[in-house]
């Protein structure tokens, strides 16, 4: 038992993130949600947003240092991916 949900491959996610940036992480999180949850989120988007905000506030209060660290890593990763794309376009 790897400790990861079924169908989740961290190595593959790392490769996707290297190719597509942080967007790959968000896509993978969406794929991990069960179909029933996705249907509920589609049916009740405001409730889903309210629950997400509540979880975000709770995480911010309990794990603020870790959340800030993860957020800044995600933002810097996205920025570097954009810089890399611009540099590649400038080269050729």
pLDDT above 80 (res 57):
yes
Average pLDDT over residues 22-48: 85
Q: Render pLDDT for 8-28 as a digit per residue (tens, 0 to 9).
A: 676 777 777 777 877 887 787
Give the CA-trace dihedral at 69, 70, 76, 82, to 10 degrees. -170
**To which residue do tokens 């570097």 refer?**
80
pLDDT of 87 higher than 70:
yes
- Whole-structure pTM value: 0.47
54 falls in which pLDDT band (50, 70, 90)?
very high
What local confidence, expressed as pLDDT, does residue 44 receive? 93
Output the six-digit token pair for 84: 């890399």
């Amino acid at each position: 038992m790897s400790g990861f949900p079924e169908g989740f491959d961290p190595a593959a996610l790392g490769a996707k993130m290297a190719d597509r940036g942080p967007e790959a992480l968000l896509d993978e999180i969406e794929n991990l949600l069960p179909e029933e949850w996705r249907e509920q989120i589609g049916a009740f988007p405001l409730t889903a947003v309210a629950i997400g905000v509540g979880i975000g506030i709770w995480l911010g209060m309990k794990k603020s240092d870790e959340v800030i660290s993860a957020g800044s890593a995600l933002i810097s990763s996205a920025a570097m991916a954009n810089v890399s794309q611009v540099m590649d376009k400038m080269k050729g």
